[in-house]
Amino acid sequence: MLIRSKAPLRLGLAGGGTDVAPYSELYGGTILNATISMFAYATIEPRQDGKIVLNSIDKNENYEFQAADSLAIDGNLDLHKGIYNRVVKDFAKKPFSFKLSTYVDAPPGSGLGTSSTLVVAILGAFAEWLGLPLGEYDLAHLAFEIERVDLNMAGGKQDQYAATFGGVNFMEFFKEDKVIVNPLRIHDKYLDELAHNLILYHTETSRLSSRIIEQQSQNVMKKNIRTIEAMHKLKEQAIMMKEAILKGELDKIGEILDFGWQYKKHMASGITNPFIDEVYKTAIKHGATGGKISGAGGGGFMFFYCPGLTRSNVVEALKKFGGQTKRYEFTAKGLTTWTI
C-alpha cells in the first residue's frame, strides 16, 4: 500500500509580509496569492518492522530510526520529524512504523513557500493514511502550529492556507490566529493572460528567509514607523490587486506590483541587494511594467508583469544574469491525497 499526497506552491501576488506576527496580530493582515503547477509531494509506505525511514529525495537525505513517541529535532529533516511527533501526540497516541519519501519542485529558499507546502503535503499524507479528522482550515492551522510553534521556524501564515486550499485567494489574518480564506472567481481568460504575462524568474540564488522575517517582526515590535507604514501600504496593494484581477484590468497589474515592491523594501534590510535591483531594472527597461521578489526577499524567484508582446524581450534580457525562466500555470486545486 502507498499513501500519496501533493500540495501546490504559491505566488504571493500582493500583501506579502502582513501575515507575519506581530503585525497581523496588531493591525490585521491581507494577502492575495495564487497556487501554481509546482508541487511538494509525499509518499508513505507502512512498515511492520518497528522502523521509521525518512527520505528527502530532492535533498538527497535519508535517515532511519527506531519507532518512538518522539523523534529528536536536530537539524536533519526536522519538518518530517516535527509532523510525526505532533501526529503521535495529538492523534495516534503511540509510535508507528513507516517510510516517508518527499520531493519538492523548487529548492529551499526559493520564495514559493516550499517549507510550509511540504508540511501540508506530509500532514495530508498522514491524514489520508490514519483517517485524521481534519478539515481544510484544521489542517492548514495545524501545519502552521507545527512549523511556527513546535519547530519555532520564523514565518507567516499564508503558505499553509494557500497549499491546503489552492486557487486564487484573498486571505485575511486577524488576532489569535484567525484566518479567513476568500476564494476568487476569476474568468479563465484573465488567468490565462496573467500566467502568460507574468514571468517567473529564478535568480539561481537562495536566502535564509527567517533572518529577514525576524528583522521585520522586530521592526514592528519596536514600532518602526517606516516598516509599519510600508506594511499598511502592502495591505492596500492586496485590495488593489484583487479588484484589478476580478475586473480583468490586467494592464494595472504591473504598476500594482511595482507599488508593492517599492514599499516592501522598507520592511527590513536584506530584502533586496544590488544584484536584485539590477535584475529588476533590466526587466523594466525591456518592457516589464512591474514585479517583485517572491517570498521574504533576498534571493530565490522574482516575477515580472510583461504586457502585450514584451514577454520574449524580457526573458532574453534576463539571460545575462544566469538565472532561469520557469514555465507554469495557475492551479485551482489545493492539497490532494490518495491511496494505492
Question: What one-character-per-residue DSSP string does 208-238 give?
Answer: -HHHHHHHHHHHHHTT-HHHHHHHHHHHHHH
**In a domain? residue 340:** no
Query: How high is the mean pLDDT of the chain?
Result: 93
Residues 156 and 232 in one domain: no
Residues 69 and 162 in one domain: yes
- Residue 13 corresponds to which cell in the numbers above? 501576488
- % of the chain at pLDDT higher than 70: 98
Say how far apart CA 223 and CA 235 lie, in whole Å.
Answer: 17
- Three-state SS for 269? coil
Residues 107 and 204 in one domain: no
Residues 151 and 265 in one domain: no
Instruction: Give the dihedral of Cα atoms 273, 277, 280, 286; nearest 10 deg.
Output: -150
pLDDT in tens, 121-178: 999 999 999 999 999 999 999 999 999 999 999 888 999 999 999 999 999 999 888 9
pLDDT in tens, 238-273: 999 999 999 999 999 999 999 999 999 888 777 888
Question: Among 185, 217, 238, which residue terminates a domain?
Answer: 185
Residues 176 and 30 in one domain: yes
Residues 124 and 264 in one domain: no
- Residue 252 corresponds to which cell in the numbers above? 494595472
Question: Has residue 210 got a pLDDT over 70?
Answer: no
Average of pLDDT values for 6-25? 93
Q: How far is CA 92 from CA 67, 69, 105, 166, in A?
A: 13, 10, 30, 28
Instruction: Give the dihedral of Cα atoms 331, 243, 246, 181; nearest 10 deg.
Output: 50
The burial of 319, by beta-carbon neighbours within 10 Å (0-12 exposed, 13-18 middle, 19 or more buried), is given as: exposed
30, 244 contact by CB (below 8 A): no
- Residue 182 corresponds to which cell in the numbers above? 476568500
- Residue 111 corresponds to which cell in the numbers above? 520564495
Residues 170 and 195 in one domain: no
Residues 63 and 162 in one domain: yes
Give the pLDDT confidence score for residue 84 in this predicted structure: 98
145, 309 contact by CB (below 8 A): no
138 is catalytic: no
Q: Which residues pair with 46 in a beta bridge?
A: 98
Question: Has residue 212 got a pLDDT over 80?
Answer: no
**Helices 158-165 and 136-145: angle between axes, nearest 10 degrees:** 150
Question: Has residue 218 got a pLDDT over 90?
Answer: no
Residue whose entry in the numeric block shows the C-alpha cell 489542517: 139
Neighbours of 63 (CB within 10 A): 15
- Domain extent, residue 10, equals 3-185
**In a domain? residue 44:** yes
At residue 300, φ and ψ (nearest 5 deg) are: 80, -140
Residues 130 and 198 in one domain: no
The CATH number of whichever domain residue 180 belongs to comes to 3.30.230.10
Band of the pLDDT at 308, cuts 50, 70, 90? Answer: very high
What predicted TM-score, i.e. pTM, was given to this entire model?
0.94
Give the pLDDT confidence score for residue 140 in this predicted structure: 97
Average of pLDDT values for 190-217? 84
Q: Select which of 19, 105, 159, 258 is catalytic.
A: 159
Amino acid at 59: K
Average of pLDDT values for 3-28? 93
**In a domain? residue 331:** no
Residues 172 and 195 in one domain: no
Domain count, the chain: 2
Give the pLDDT confidence score for residue 208 in this predicted structure: 60
Residues 137 and 59 in one domain: yes
Residues 241 and 138 in one domain: no
**In a domain? residue 336:** no
Band of the pLDDT at 215, cuts 50, 70, 90? Answer: confident
Say how far apart CA 21 and CA 115 lie, in whole Å.
Answer: 18
